[in-house]
Amino acid sequence: MIRNSPTRNSLPVLLLGAMLLLLPAGCGIAAVAGRAFPGTIAAPYPGLKKQTVGIMVWADSGITIDHPSVQADLAKGLQDKLQQAAAAGTDEVQKVTWYSPDDVLKFQEDHPEAETDTAEQTALKFPVTRLIYVELGSLSLHPSEAIDLSLGQATASVRVIEVTSGTAKAGYEEVNVSVTYPEHAPPEGVTGLSDDTVYRQTIDAMTTALAERFISRPDDTNDMEQDDTGPNMGNEQ
């Protein structure tokens, strides 16, 4: 949960992988990067361009004991996807100067008392103009206690703190960003997946969901609706 007080402040063109999935055969990324698409979903927060940006991820001890690298995995995964989007020509993340996630993690390790600070107070401790502040609310790899079944589920809150002339304020906030892996798995879970696979794919799904808050992307709703209408009759023999 995102806190607004001394209890914690918890938080397009397209990502490269998604672009590859949506491109017509024979069409390269360079042909579409930076292009406007009909039915574009605007970035909820388009304010990272030309900023110095850091990413901080907080997770409570119940999560980090089970997954010690989760804060680093989320921070580095999100930054990597935004850098990929920038390389593909996405306008909202052009000319971003990234503050090292390793330095943010070191600060967290060296200053555990900062966990009680607000996100605004924390942002002022870094040489950034934007702090993407993520609080991981939950992460599980199995439904209930069914250890023989797999279902990756995670929720997070994200906030962007804008720092200007020594003052910090929230420029964007969203709670309950939720992902599931496999995406369309039944609630009772699935068999045949290792914990490592479920963890990595759930983190990947969460970093993708978070990245989409900062880039505009084509709206493929119509394509999905068409896909749901029935089989492709043209491929039947």
Q: Is the pLDDT of residue 137 over 60?
A: yes
Residue 112 included in any domain: yes
Residue 90 included in any domain: yes
Q: Is the pLDDT of residue 234 over 80?
A: no
Residue 232 included in any domain: no
Range of the domain at 193: 37-216
Torsion of CA 98, 104, 106, 107, to 10 degrees: 140
- Which amino acid would we find at residue 2? I
Task: Give 86: exposed, middle or buried? Use CB within 10 Å, 0-12, 13-18, 19+.
Answer: buried
Number of domains in the chain: 1
Residue 132 included in any domain: yes
The pLDDT of residue 144 is 84
Place 95 in a pLDDT band, splitting at 50, 70 and 90: very high
Task: State the DSSP code for 45.
Answer: -
Residue 9 included in any domain: no
Start-to-end Cα distance in the chain: 53
The tokens describing 106, both together, are 């070191």
CATH of the domain at 152: 3.40.50
Contact 72, 101 (CB under 8 A): yes
Residue 12 included in any domain: no
User: Any bridge partners for residue 39, and if so which?
Assistant: none
The pLDDT of residue 22 is 36
Q: Is the pLDDT of residue 111 over 80?
A: yes
pTM of the complete model: 0.78
12-21 burial string, b = 16+ CB within 10 Å, else e? bbbbbebbee
- pLDDT per residue as tens digits for the range 1-56: 444 433 344 333 334 344 433 333 333 323 333 444 457 899 999 999 999 999 99
Q: What percent of the chain clears pLDDT 70, i.e. is strictly above it?
A: 76
Lowest mean per-residue pLDDT among 117-121, 134-138, 144-148: 144-148
Residue 195 included in any domain: yes
Q: How many residues does the chain have?
A: 237
- Which amino acid would we find at residue 113? E
Task: Give 112: exposed, middle or buried? Use CB within 10 Å, 0-12, 13-18, 19+.
Answer: exposed
Residue 45 included in any domain: yes
